[in-house]
Amino acid sequence: MFICSPESVVAYPDLPQIVEYLTAWRQRNLGFVRDPVLVGRQIQEPARPAGISDGFEDLVNDVVRGRQSLRDLRNAVDEWRRNGGDELGAT
């Protein structure tokens, strides 16, 4: 929904009155619509630990497909935490 969403369509060819009622209702209520809380905001990671997650998703996929072990994943999480991952949670 964030990147793309379908156009809103009201199609009741056999009941044209419903289309008129629904369209009128939407027009009346449009004034009450508010932007979501995070509209126009950019969330950035702190500069120091910004790259510590690089390759992590690939490792997770490798574990799921059996190319890496859970031990490798645990080691990666421990390294992520040592390199600043815990700081990301505190910010």
Q: Are 84 and 48 in contact (CB under 8 A)?
A: yes
Pairs from 62-70 (Cβ < 8 Å, separation ≥ 24): none
Amino acid at 88: L
Q: In terms of residues, how long is the chain? A: 91
Distance CA 66, CA 10 (A): 47
Assign 75 a pLDDT band (cuts: 50, 70, 90): very high
Give the Å distances, CA to CA, from 16 to 6, 24, 27, 28, 58. 22, 13, 17, 19, 52
pLDDT per residue as tens digits for the range 16-68: 898 889 889 989 998 898 887 877 777 776 666 666 777 788 888 999 999 99
pTM above 0.85, yes or no: no
- pLDDT value at position 90? 57
- pLDDT value at position 64? 92
DSSP secondary structure letters along 4-21: --PPP----TT-HHHHHH
Tokens for 87? 């700081």
